[in-house]
Amino acid sequence: MHVTEHTGNHLRQIIDRVQAATREKFPFVQNGLNEAYLQRQIKEGERDEQMD
Protein backbone atom coordinates (compact mmCIF):
# COMPACT_ATOMS: atom_id res chain seq x y z
CA MET A 1 0.00 0.00 0.00
CA HIS A 2 2.81 2.42 0.80
CA VAL A 3 4.26 2.19 -2.73
CA THR A 4 0.82 2.87 -4.24
CA GLU A 5 0.29 5.93 -2.06
CA HIS A 6 3.80 7.18 -2.79
CA THR A 7 3.29 6.77 -6.54
CA GLY A 8 -0.11 8.46 -6.30
CA ASN A 9 1.49 11.44 -4.55
CA HIS A 10 4.06 11.82 -7.31
CA LEU A 11 1.38 11.54 -9.98
CA ARG A 12 -0.68 14.26 -8.26
CA GLN A 13 2.36 16.54 -8.20
CA ILE A 14 3.03 15.96 -11.90
CA ILE A 15 -0.59 16.61 -12.83
CA ASP A 16 -0.73 19.75 -10.69
CA ARG A 17 2.41 21.12 -12.34
CA VAL A 18 1.23 20.32 -15.87
CA GLN A 19 -2.17 21.88 -15.21
CA ALA A 20 -0.52 24.99 -13.81
CA ALA A 21 1.91 25.26 -16.72
CA THR A 22 -0.68 24.71 -19.44
CA ARG A 23 -3.62 26.34 -17.63
CA GLU A 24 -5.62 23.32 -18.76
CA LYS A 25 -7.68 21.19 -16.40
CA PHE A 26 -7.86 17.46 -16.84
CA PRO A 27 -11.40 16.21 -16.19
CA PHE A 28 -10.31 12.85 -14.78
CA VAL A 29 -8.61 14.61 -11.88
CA GLN A 30 -11.87 16.18 -10.70
CA ASN A 31 -12.92 12.75 -9.43
CA GLY A 32 -9.58 12.22 -7.72
CA LEU A 33 -6.85 9.83 -8.68
CA ASN A 34 -8.89 6.76 -8.02
CA GLU A 35 -7.39 3.71 -9.71
CA ALA A 36 -10.76 2.07 -10.40
CA TYR A 37 -12.12 5.27 -11.94
CA LEU A 38 -9.07 5.69 -14.16
CA GLN A 39 -9.28 2.06 -15.30
CA ARG A 40 -12.95 2.56 -16.26
CA GLN A 41 -12.02 5.67 -18.24
CA ILE A 42 -9.34 3.75 -20.14
CA LYS A 43 -11.71 0.87 -20.92
CA GLU A 44 -14.41 3.28 -22.10
CA GLY A 45 -11.87 4.97 -24.36
CA GLU A 46 -10.85 1.62 -25.79
CA ARG A 47 -14.50 0.77 -26.49
CA ASP A 48 -15.01 4.12 -28.22
CA GLU A 49 -11.98 3.50 -30.43
CA GLN A 50 -13.25 0.05 -31.39
CA MET A 51 -16.59 1.55 -32.46
CA ASP A 52 -14.88 3.99 -34.87
Under a CB-based contact definition with an 8 Å cutoff, are residues 25 and 19 in contact?
Answer: yes
Distances (CA, A) of 24 to 3, 6, 20, 36, 41: 28, 25, 7, 23, 19
Q: What's residue 6's pLDDT?
A: 75
Span 37-50, average pLDDT: 80
Would you say residue 3 has pLDDT above 70? no
pTM above 0.85, yes or no: no
pLDDT per residue over 13-34, tens digit each? 999 999 999 999 888 777 677 7
Percent of the chain with pLDDT over 70: 87
More confident residue, 40 or 4: 40
